Amino acid sequence: MSAISSVLPYIQITISILLILAVLLQQSGAQNGGALGGSDSSGSVFHTRRGLEKLLFISTIVLGVLFALTSFVSLLK
């Protein structure tokens, strides 16, 4: 348990930096005015994620879950 508790802060810092980058790299719908009640010209709110956008979306979810798990583990030590 001692080895995990000494490495855990570095793992959390790495995951948090990757999570911040993944969130910042995603395109937001707020650029189209959706955050302020405006509508986009396409008329559709939902779209299918493909390619790099889908990979970035899934990696953001995975990194978020990993960060939550490492935070929970750090509480237990």
The domain spans of the chain are: 2-32+52-76
CA neighbor of 22 nearest in space, from 71, 77, 51, 62? 62
Can you give the pLDDT at residue 4?
A: 81
Q: What are phi and psi of 35, to 5 degrees?
A: -75, -25
Can you give the pLDDT at residue 31?
A: 55
Can you give the pLDDT at residue 19?
A: 96
Can you give the pLDDT at residue 36?
A: 54
CA distance 60 to 41: 28
Give the pTM. Answer: 0.72
Q: For every one of its 77 residues, what pLDDT tens digit does the chain have, with 9 covering 90 and above? A: 688 889 999 999 999 999 999 999 987 655 555 555 555 555 556 778 888 899 999 999 999 999 999 999 999 87
